[in-house]
Amino acid sequence: MNRTYELMFIVRPDMAEEDQDKLISTLEAAVASSSGQVKNVERMGKRRLAYTVRKFHDGIYVLLTVEGGGGLIHELERRLRVTEPVIKFLTVRTDEEQKRLDKIKAIKDAKRKAAAPAPSPEPAGEAPAATA
Amino acid sequence: MADETRSTSESSSGGDRPDRGERRPSRPGGPGGGREGGAGGRKYFRRKKVCKFCVEKIEAINYKDIRLLAQFVAESGRIVPRRLTGVCTPHQRRLSLAIKQARNIALLPFAGRAA
């Protein structure tokens, strides 16, 4: 049931480092209180925005990877919305895409195994014979 | 700004996106034809277009990967159609979704910058 989300948000470029830390730690506290988990925090640094947002041309990008339910995301988005320095945010659910990628990777690995070394299927064939 | 210009110049030189001028309505040559129309002075190449994602086996099309996405966005900011890029339908679907997500978080423009 637990889902993985990526929460990317942009804060205004003139925000101090310690204020960012404070914001991130409050978000982390909010995640913890909703029995979620922060998997990763990535500061992507200052970037040029592709278009003007609230009269800003640059922004500091932060990416949070969060595990938890939909209620948690609702709460986090509410917090981001009321936080003044946050100028934009985006939440993307990633677990299903990740599942798809894992599946593709598993199929690929299986194919490679089947194509390259012969010994691995042989012992598997022997084992049932020995038990029988 | 620097990043933006770099990525666009890369896409134009990369050859992943075929020139529009090359397009002709019909394809007389065989499959995967390399060179056509050499006779009458009309010389142009038409490589058979292939899906970049299928060929290079790129599974993940992520909204954060702007370098990749920018190759499929025109100067004007619009998503380049499949018939020009040769991307296959399933990948174009994922691609357009990723581009739209990137637009939402101001990684890619909705409309190009004065272009």
CA distance B115 to A110: 48
How far is B36 from chain A, CA to nearest CA, in Å? Answer: 37
* Helix and strand numbers, DSSP H then E, in chain B: 5, 2
Q: How far is CA A42 from the centre of its chain?
A: 10
* Helix and strand numbers, DSSP H then E, in chain A: 4, 4
Does residue B14 surpass a pLDDT of 70? no
Integer CA distances (angstroms), B80 to A96, B37, B83, B95, in order: 27, 26, 8, 10
Mean pLDDT over each residue of chain A, to the nearest integer: 84
Residue B40, in any domain of the structure: no
Q: How many domains does chain B have?
A: 1
Q: What is the ipTM of this complex?
A: 0.74
CATH, residue B105: 4.10.640.10
Are β-strands B44-45 and B35-36 bridged in parallel, bridged antiparallel, or unpaired?
Answer: antiparallel
pTM for this predicted structure: 0.68
Residue B113, in any domain of the structure: yes
pLDDT in tens, B54-110: 888 888 888 988 889 999 999 888 999 999 888 999 999 999 999 999 999 999 998
User: Which domains does chain A carry?
Assistant: 3-94 (3.30.70.60)
Nearest CA in chain A to B2: A48
Does residue B38 surpass a pLDDT of 60? no
* Contact yes or no for B107 and A50 at CB 8 A: yes
CA distance B83 to B49: 9
Mean pLDDT over each residue of chain B, to the nearest integer: 70
* Contact yes or no for A92 and B3 at CB 8 A: no
Does residue B15 surpass a pLDDT of 50? no
Judge contact between A7 and A66, C-beta under 8 A: yes
CA distance A132 to A128: 6
pLDDT in tens, A92-132: 999 888 888 889 889 988 988 888 765 545 444 444 444 44
